[in-house]
Amino acid sequence: MSTFFMHFFYLALFFWMLVSGLQLFYATVVVFSTMAKSTMLAISFSLGYGCPLIIAAITVAVTAPGHGYIKSDYACWLNWNETKALLALVIPALTIVLINILIVIVVLFKMLRRGVGDTAQRNERHMLMVIARCVAVLTPLFGLTWSLGVGTMIAPTNRGIHIAFAFFNSLQGFFILVFGTLINSKVSQATVERKNTLQRNQGSAEPSLWKEEI
């Protein structure tokens, strides 16, 4: 069961990267079409969680009956030697990394060609820059990180590769926090405004409490 959830959530990570790339592509290339926010959310969640669930479920259904789902040494990871079940993670992940790299190239070309810095509105430019930064930075970063996973298959007894693979993958959430949230100027501005509002509210509440005590 733990292998299934690991497979599912790792796939979900990559498919949400694909969602970010497609949003970037839609916002810059498909300029004459508008999509409702509810429709976009439905598509995003279907792609981000639905596709990983289908792939993980099919992998279990195909390999589990012959005891080829997990590794033969009963480690909590997908089998490689007998059934090549690990390809159900490797192929989608590498495909998504390639697609996102192509999307970044196309989007940069489009932005330079149409002069998005002059013609687009300020909010649109900000949204494009945030998404582009996340896709451009996180996609190669996660791609390089998961390339260490190929090393674990080629040299399964090399402890250094396994340690590096586990270490860098453990930092993925941190990278998402930094590049997707902390660097976002709107998030920083909203945080500062919220902090100032709380301080003002506390400052105005203290005199009234003091009067009640008197």
Note whether 28 and 97 are same-domain residues.
yes
Question: Which pLDDT does position 3 carry in this prediction?
Answer: 87
199 shares a domain with 125: yes
Q: What pTM does this model have?
A: 0.68
Q: Which of 120-124, 181-185, 194-198, 207-211 has the lowest mean pLDDT?
A: 207-211
Ranked by mean pLDDT, the top range of 82-86, 132-136, 166-170 is 82-86
- CB-CB neighbours of 23 under 10 Å: 19
Q: What is the mean pLDDT of the chain?
A: 76
Q: Are residues 131 and 198 in the same domain?
A: yes
Q: Is the dihedral of CA 104, 110, 111, 113 positive or negative?
A: positive
Phi, psi dihedral angles at 59 (to 5 degrees): -60, -45
Q: 18 in a domain, yes or no?
A: yes
Between these two residues, 198 and 207, which has the higher pLDDT value? 198
**Same structural domain for residues 8 and 37?**
yes
Contact (CB, 8 A) for 92 and 14:
yes
71, 79 Cβ separation under 8 angstroms: yes
In sequence order, the 6+-apart residues with CB closer than 8 A to the CB of 40 are 23
For 147-167, the pLDDT digits (tens) are 777 777 677 678 888 788 778
Instruction: Look up tokens 């069961």; give the residue.
Output: 1
Greater pLDDT, 180 or 201: 201
Q: Please, are residues 95 and 87 in contact by the beta-carbon 8 Å criterion?
A: no
Same domain, 180 and 154: yes
Separation between Cα atoms, residue 10 and residue 55, nearest integer Å: 11
Residue 209's pLDDT band, with cuts at 50, 70 and 90, is: very low
Asked, for residue 54, whether it belongs to a domain, the answer is yes
Domain holding 110, by residue range, is 1-61+80-118
Q: Count up the domains in the chain and report the number.
A: 2
What's the pLDDT tens digit per position in 71-126? 776 567 788 778 888 889 889 988 988 888 788 778 777 766 765 444 455 555 66
- When pLDDT is cut at 50, 70 and 90, the band that residue 58 belongs to is very high
C-alpha–C-alpha distance, residues 21 and 8, integer Å: 20
Do 127 and 169 share a domain, yes or no?
A: yes
Residue 31 to residue 28: CA distance in whole angstroms: 6
